[in-house]
Structures are given as C-alpha cells and as structure tokens.
Amino acid sequence: MSEPQFSGEIAKIITNAVERDIAIDNCHTGEDQARQQGTEVKLDDKIVGAIRATGGVLIHPIIVQDNKNDTFEIIVGQRRTSAYHILRKTEDDPKKYENIRAKVIEVELTPEQKKIISIVENYGRSDMDKVDYASVIEHFYEKYHRVKKYVGIALGINVATVNKYLTEARLPDKVKEAMRGDDGFSIDVAMKALKGMGDDEESADPDALIETARILKKAKPGIRNKAVKKMRDKGMDAETAIKTSSETVSIKLEITGETDERLQEYQKEKMKDSREDAAISAMETELFRDQKDV
C-alpha cells in the first residue's frame, strides 16, 4: 500500500480556486463535509454579529465546488452561509447578503478530497465539534487499513492528534458523558488513565477508567506522568502511584515573548490543557528522549 499523496494535491486545488461572489440560494452542504455537528446558527450567535459588523465575509471566503449546473456544494463555510440567510431576513438591506465571497473549485473532487479540505480548513477552530473530527479520522483510518501514519499524511496532522481522536471515538459512552460533566476531565487525562490501565479503550471498565481519570486530573502534570508510568510498570493504583511520585522541585522560569508564542503553538499542536502542561511535556520529551514515553 503506497502512502497517500493528498497534501500536495489539496494545496494545488485550493491555490487554483477562483475567488468570486456567488448566490447563497445556490449553495448547499454535501454529505462529505467534515462538519456535521453544531451547524445550526441563530440570530444572536457571534458569527452573525461578526459578519454584520464587517458587512459580509471579507477575509475568509467560504470554499465550494462548482457543480456545473448553477449550484455549488459547500466544502467549508456552511455556518457563514447560514448567517447570511439570517441577515438577509433581518437586516434593512437584504440585498447586501444575497451573495457571499467564495473560493470556487472548478475540478470535480472525490469524497476523500472534500473531507480533507473540510477538516484541514476547520482544524483548530473552536466552533467545530470534536465528533466531526473523529468521524473523518475514523474514515481515513479504515481507508488506510488502520495505519495512523497514513491518516496523518492524508489530513496534514500529526500521529499524536490522530491517536487522540481515535481514542476518544472508541471510549465507552459512559466515559464520554463523564468527560463533559461537572467533574469532567480532558481527553489528554483520559488517555493517561487508559495508558496506566493497559492502553485498551475497548476493554477497559468504564467506571474504573472514570475514577482513575478523576484522580489523575487532580495531580500536577509532572506527577501525573510519573504516576502513569508506575501504574503501567508496577501495577499500582492511581492514588498510590501519585503519592509515591509527589517529590518534586519547583522551578520559576522567565521566557521571552517569542518562546511563549512557540509554547502556545506547542500546546495547541499537542492538545495540552494548559501552557504548564505543554512546558512540562516539552521538557520531559527532551530530557527523557532515551526513555520510553509515558
């Protein structure tokens, strides 16, 4: 099986797209759009206010495929298009929102190419539901015979991100509900708990996983990593592992603005909960490069 080569193709397709205004009434969302959750737009949503304030989509055009029959399939931008429909009905000058700025792709796209464009353009945006990312990643995971490296190449994301979304998608529903609750925890903490318990999300006991994640959540990142290693290597429970890993040294660091910006990028890239988590992860990656990651 050869490696996917979509990344270069997608860049070329987007570069060659023609930017122009198109009628919103001629736009529709296809089944291959990555975003399927959270697409509803209401009058008081931020996106409506932002478009109203600027008088339309100015900086980030939507992306569509020309269907060659006076209609366009939305690949990226259905929420912006929905906001236009709302503004046309509620503003004093409805004609202002009859047309929207778009990058129009003239070539016929495959379903996979549409998914890639959609997820790459939306990646990192806070308004796209994680379920949609997981769904697209699952699609390519199966397509490339469960080779995570190929999924990352196809979607332009790292293997760590692929692994996180695949893990979250396979977690029991009870665990997912607990993550969203008042005493919830992040997918990063859930993965730590899972690793300490044996790294098998499909056979892990949901109640035990939830309890372990809640215990690990209370520990500082450095302690948490050490505890997970002890859980995995020595069979300790989470509380005991944390207690025996609590000897730490506090260090005050002063960093430049440039380093802080890079740290924020690292935090986003590695999907860490905070910059503290990101800093500790970065240091441990370098300091313990010769040891197996936890």
* DSSP 8-state symbol, 95: G
In this prediction, residue 45 has a pLDDT band, given cuts at 50, 70 and 90, of confident
pLDDT for 227 beyond 70: yes
pLDDT in tens, 117-141: 887 666 545 455 666 677 778 888 8
Instruction: Give mean pLDDT, residues 143-149.
Output: 85
What are the pLDDT digits (tens) for 96-114? Answer: 899 999 999 998 888 888 8
Give long-range contacts, CB 8 A cutoff, 24+ apart: 158-166. 158/269, 160/270, 160/271, 161/269, 161/271, 162/137, 163/191, 164/188, 164/191, 164/271, 165/130, 165/133, 165/134, 165/137, 166/134, 166/137, 166/138, 166/141
